[in-house]
Structure 1
Amino acid sequence: MSNPRRLARRARMLRWLLNLYPPYLGAGIRVQHISPDMRSVKVRMKLTRWNRNYVGTQFGGSLYSMVDPFYMLLLIEQLGREYIVWDKAASIDFISPGKGPVYAEFHLDDALLDDIRQQTATGKKCLPRLQVDIRDGAGELVARVDKTLYVRLKPQARQA
């Protein structure tokens, strides 16, 4: 894991790069905050003519896109480059229509990171299941996304 100053600098750079990423620009997705320790992210998506569906609400593909990479990115930064981290599976449950701006927040805690490190120490894979809620400006649930990630220690980093 990086030192705190380097991690904070990486968080600022990642936020800047993601906010310039063409698919996010086009969909009205904005990374509002990445914590300096790279353990949490807040994302916002405006309702625009580019992400509005036929009935005038947030397009489901854009809702998923706004949450797609963040758990993977946070885990890569927390665990370090000696780990393989991939998205394995995802599902989205649409609860209510997004009729305006929507938000999602991601958080990693010590217990999850310790569990992943323990499960992968001998080279076994870990498949953590993480959830993120997408809410509107009033805090009402718009969608719930379940993500399964694949995490494994790279062969050269495994204990003998």
Structure 2
Amino acid sequence: MLMGVFGPDYLIWDSKASIHYIKPGRGKLTAEFQLSPEIIAQIRNATANGDKHFPSFVIYVKDEHGDVVAEIERVLYIRRRAKQVTDISRSKAA
């Protein structure tokens, strides 16, 4: 999802993940992934100078009744690719 937002100018990798199983998941399970404009702006600001950024996201897996059956935490590694950082630095210096 983030790779679609940021495109090829950014490196985006899974750094760490954990799953906390709360109860057995039976039947149809769903999970929603949401990225607000504020989160996207925070990531852009944190990586603008080529710095590494490790945002954490929590996703809740729910059953058909809306009960949470698992909680997934993902930590991502996000960094602007080196060429884009150099290009930005040059444009700011000019």
- Note the alpha carbon deviations across 1:107-156, whole angstroms, 9 max, x for none: 11111100000010000011010011000000001000000000000000
Query: Which blocks of at least 5 consecutive residues in structure 2 are unaligned?
Result: 90-94
Please give the residue correspondences for 1:3-152 in structure 2 after superposition, counting only pairs within 5 Å: 74-152=1-79
Aligned alpha-carbon RMSD (Å): 0.7
1:84: how far off? 0.3
Number of residue pairs matched by the alignment? 87
Q: How many Å separate the matches in 1 of 2:54 and 2:18?
A: 15
Query: Which blocks of at least 5 consecutive residues in structure 1 are unaligned?
Result: 1-73
- Note the alpha carbon deviations across 1:21-75, whole angstroms, 9 max, x for none: xxxxxxxxxxxxxxxxxxxxxxxxxxxxxxxxxxxxxxxxxxxxxxxxxxxxx10
Of all paired residues, the percent bearing the same amino acid is 34
1:103: how far off? 0.7
1:99: how far off? 1.8
Q: How many Å separate the matches in 2 of 1:151 and 1:99?
A: 34
Structure of greater relative contact order (alpha carbons < 8 Å, 6+ residues apart): 2
- Note the alpha carbon deviations across 1:61-115, whole angstroms, 9 max, x for none: xxxxxxxxxxxxx101111210000000000000011121111110111111000
Structure holding more strand per residue: 2
TM-score normalized with structure 1 length: 0.53
Q: How many Å separate the matches in 2 of 1:99 and 1:83?
A: 38
What SS is found at the alignment partner of 1:81?
helix
Residue 49 (structure 1) aligns with: none
